[in-house]
Amino acid sequence: ESTTHDHQLNDSPATTPGTVLEPVRLQLKWKHQFQFAGYYAAVEKGYYREAGLDVEILEATEGQETIDRVLDGHAEFGVGTTDLVLMHQKGEPVVVLAVIFQHSPLALLLRKDSGIQTLHGLEGKKVMIEPHSAELFAYLNREGVSLHKLIQPPHTFNTAALVQGQADAMSVYITDEPFALRVQNVPYLLFSPRAAGIDFYGDNLFTTQSQVEDHPDRVRRFREASLRGWRYAMENPEEIIQLIYNRYSKRHSLEHLRFEAEQMKLLMPEIVEIGHMYPGRWEHIASVYAELNMMRQDYDLDGFMYDPNPGMDLTWFYVALAITIVVALAVSLVALMFHRLNVDLRKSENMRREAERIIQHDLKSTLGVILGYSEMLLSDPEGSPHVDVYRRINRSADQMLEMVKRSLDIFEMESGQYKLAQDPVDLNQLLQEVVAGFARLARNKSVTLVGSFGDRLLDQAPPCMVPGDGLHLKTMMENLIKNAIEAAPEESVVSIMLQEKPAPQSDVTISVHNQGLIPEEVRASFFERYSRGPSSGGAGLGTYSASLIVRAHGGDIDFSTDAVKGTELRVRLPRVQRVPEKN
C-alpha cells in the first residue's frame, strides 16, 4: 500500500546521537514522480531530520482518496487538490499549509489529427475525465459545451486510450501524460482552463485542524522543511531526477522525469515564493465551485488557510475594546457630523478606485487567456522555430498577471484588510536581482549602481532574512531604486546599502542614495498617492505603494534630502535570525 523512504545522502547533516525523531507520514496523491520532488529532497538532504522528524512518504494507489487518508488518521500530512476547499465547506477539518503549484496542471489532451479544433468539437465524443476535475467541467460550462452531450467512459490513466481510439480526449496533467505521445511522435493538442480565466492552484500541502491545534510546532517544522526541500529540488532538478529514478521508482524513464521537471517550471513561476497562497485565489476557486452548484456562494475561508505566524489570544483585549467603543459612540456622533461634510469628495475618490479595481479584474481574465494559449503553443510536440518567443510571451504574461494580482493587494493594504504572507525572504538575493535588472537603465543614464551589505558587496555577503512577502518586497525595492536612477544626475552614483543590527535588536535597514534633490513642493506629500515632481514622467504611485508595502510588513520608511548631500531613502524592516554563512 505504501513505500517508505528515509535514505540519507553523504552530504546530509548527521543526527545528534540520542536524538529522538518524531515519526510522521506524508500521503502523496499519486505515484512516485518528479511531481513530489521537494518532499524527496527534504528527506534525502536531511531537512526533515534537522527539523526533528522521521518522515514516511506514502505512495498513492489508483482510486485512493488522499484527503480521506489524512482525515482518517492514516497520515498526518497529505498532498491534495483544490477539492480541499470543498471538503472544508462541508465541515471537514482540513487546513492548507502551502501551495506548491501556483497553477493547476490539469488540462484536456487530444490527438492533433482528431479533427477537433475547439472545445465544442467534443460534443458527442468520448471524453475521459478523472475524479476531482471540477475546473475542467467549469471550463466546458463557460465555453458553452453541453456536458450531457459528452460520452464519458471510465478513465484509464493511460494515453494508449487516445492512440487506440478508446477516447477522443482525456484529462491529464500537462507535466506527465503528454510525454508518452511525444515519445511516440503523436502530435497532440492541450486545452487548458486558464484559457477561460479559470486559474486553480495545483498541488497543495495540507493537514488537519487537530494537527495544527495539538502539534503546532511539529506542523511548523514539517512545513518549513518541506518548502526548503522544494526550493532545493527546483534549483537542482537533475540531482533529484537521478534520486527519484535510483531510489524511489523506475516507473518513469529519466527522459520522462526531465520532461516533468521542465513542464513544472510553468506551474511554479520564479516570481512567486514556493508555498505562497493568496485568499483572493481561494475565493476565486470557491466562486467557480459555486458556479457549478458544488458549494454555497457565501463560503467563509476562516480556518482553512494555515497561518505560520499566529498571533496571541486577544479575547480579553477585544472585550475591553468593545466596552471602550460603547463609551466612544457618543463622541462619534459629533465626528459623524463633520464626516458628512466630506461625503461628496470621498464618493468621487471611491468611484475612481472601484473603476481601477474593475479594470484590473478584467485584465486578469485577459491575461489568463494569453497564458492558456501560450501554454498550448509551448506543448506542441513537433517543435516550433518560435518556441523562445512563445516562452517569453508565457513568462511575461505570467509576471504581468502576478503584478495585477499584487496591485489588487495594494487596495486591500489601503483598507487594512490585506493578510500578509510570512515567508522567509532573503533581502540580499532580492537586491541583487533588482540591481541586475536595472543595470541597463543605469548605463543608459551613465549612472553607476553600487550595492553592499555592511562592508561587503552584495554578491560576497551572506543572506539577510526577513519574514514577509518576497514579491511585494521586491516590488518595493524596484520602485525606490528605479526612482533613484531616474532622478540621479548623469555620471553620478546610486548606492544601495543593506544593514542589520546585531541581536537582540531585530531590524534591518535598506538605504538608497543618489545625488538628486527632491523638490520642496512635493516633500510633504512624498509618500502619498499621485505625488510627483514637476519633471517626473511617472504616475506618482511608486513611493506610495512602497510605503504601503513597508508598513504592511511592520516597518517604516522615511527620507532626507539636501542640495549638497543628495537624497537618501531609508526602509526599516523587522528581521529574523540570519542564515549562517556556508563554509
Q: Answer whether residue 450 is part of any domain.
A: yes
Task: Verify that 209 and 84 share a domain, yes or no.
Answer: yes
Q: Which amino acid is at 560?
A: S
pLDDT > 90: percent of the chain: 43
Residue-wise pLDDT for 149-186, tens only, equals: 999 999 998 999 999 999 999 999 999 999 999 999 99
With 50 as the cut, is the pLDDT of residue 492 above it? yes
Question: Comparing 362-371, 380-389, 541-550, 574-583, which segment has the lowest mean pLDDT?
Answer: 574-583
C-alpha cell read off for 67: 484527503
Contact of 260 with 252, CB cutoff 8 Å: yes
Q: Is residue 125 part of a domain?
A: yes
Q: How far apart are the first and last CA of the chain?
A: 42
Domain identity same for 207 and 192: no
Q: Do 372 and 497 fall within a single domain?
A: no
More confident residue, 5 or 107: 107
Residues 175 and 123: beta-carbon distance below 8 Å: no
Query: Residue 545 pLDDT > 70, yes or no?
Result: yes
pLDDT of residue 288: 87
Q: Which of 89, 8, 90 is nearest to 48 (CA)?
A: 8
Per DSSP, the three-state class of 541 is coil
508 and 409 within one domain: no
pLDDT band at 315 (very low <50, low <70, confident <90, very high): very low
Question: Which range marks the domain in which residue 278 is found?
Answer: 22-99+203-291
Residue 6 lies in a domain: no
Q: Are 461 and 453 in contact (CB under 8 A)?
A: yes
Give CA–CA dist 377/365, Å, rounded: 19
455 and 407 assigned to the same domain: no
CATH of residue 79's domain is 3.40.190.10
- Check residues 354 and 393 and name the one with the higher pLDDT: 393
Q: Which of 202, 300, 226 is nearest to 77 (CA)?
A: 226
Looking at the fold, whether 392 and 488 belong to one and the same domain comes out as: no
Same domain for 427 and 279? no
Cell 523587522 appears where? 574
Burial (CB < 10 A; 0-12, 13-18, 19+), residue 308, is: middle
Q: What is the pLDDT of residues 194-211, one digit of tens each?
A: 888 888 999 999 999 999
pTM of the model: 0.57
Asked if the structure places residue 322 within a domain, the reply is no
Average pLDDT over residues 85-112: 93
Instruction: Give the β-pairing of 493-500 and 448-453.
Output: parallel
* Number of residues that make up the chain: 583
State residue 577's pLDDT score.
42
Give 105's contacts (C-beta < 8 A, 6+ positions apart).
173, 174, 175, 176, 202, 263, 264, 267
pLDDT at 338 over 60: no
Which residue, of 365, 380, 415, is where some domain finishes? 415
Whether residues 368 and 447 fall in one domain: no
Give the Cα separation of 96 and 202 in Å (integer). 12
Residue 312 belongs to some domain of the structure: no
List phi, psi (to 5°) of 57: -95, 120
Mean pLDDT estimate for the chain: 81
CB atoms within 10 A of CB 477: 22
Do 463 and 566 fall within a single domain? yes
Q: Which three cell numbers stand for residue 69?
A: 487518508
DSSP three-state, residue 151: strand
Q: Kindly tell me the burial class for residue 65, based on how many C-beta atoms sit within 10 Å of its own C-beta (0-12, 13-18, 19 or more).
A: middle
Question: What angle do the packed helices 387-415 and 343-378 form, to 10 degrees?
Answer: 160
In a domain, 330, yes or no: no
Which grid coordinates belong to 553? 510588513
Which position has the grid cell 506548491? 100
- pLDDT of residue 576 exceeding 70: no
Compute CA distances 408 → 278, 363, 471, whole Å: 11, 11, 13
Q: How confident is the model at residue 212 (pLDDT cuts 50, 70, 90)?
A: very high
Cell (9 digits) for 55: 518522515
> Is residue 166 classed as helix, strand or coil in its secondary structure?
coil
SS3 label, residue 222? helix
Which helix (H) or strand (E) segment holds residue 441: the answer is helix 439-444
**Do 399 and 451 fall into the same domain?**
no
Number of domain units in the chain: 4
d(CA 192, CA 110): 12
The answer to whether residue 176 sits within a structural domain is yes
Single out the residue in 291, 314, 335 at which a domain terminates. 291
Same domain, 76 and 218: yes
Per-residue pLDDT at 529: 67
- Mark which of 396, 415, 434 sits at the end of a domain: 415
Q: What is the mean pLDDT of residues 489-501?
A: 90
> Is 208 among the domain residues?
yes
Question: What CATH number has the domain bearing residue 445?
Answer: 3.30.565.10
184 and 40 share a domain? no
What tens digit of pLDDT does each residue of 33-74 get? 999 999 999 999 999 999 999 999 999 987 778 899 999 999
Instruction: Provide mean pLDDT across the span 305-320.
Output: 60
The dihedral through the CA atoms of 141, 143, 149, 153 has a sign that is: negative
The model's confidence at residue 399, banded by pLDDT at 50, 70 and 90, is low
Q: Give the pLDDT score at 579.
A: 39
Query: Which residue from 485, 551, 488, 561 is spatially nearest to 523, judged by alpha carbons?
Result: 561
Q: Please, which pLDDT band fits residue 415 given cuts at 50, 70 and 90?
A: low
Report CA-CA distances (Å) from 62 to 39, 130, 181: 21, 11, 22
What span, in angstroms and rounded, lies between the C-alpha atoms of 133 and 107? 9
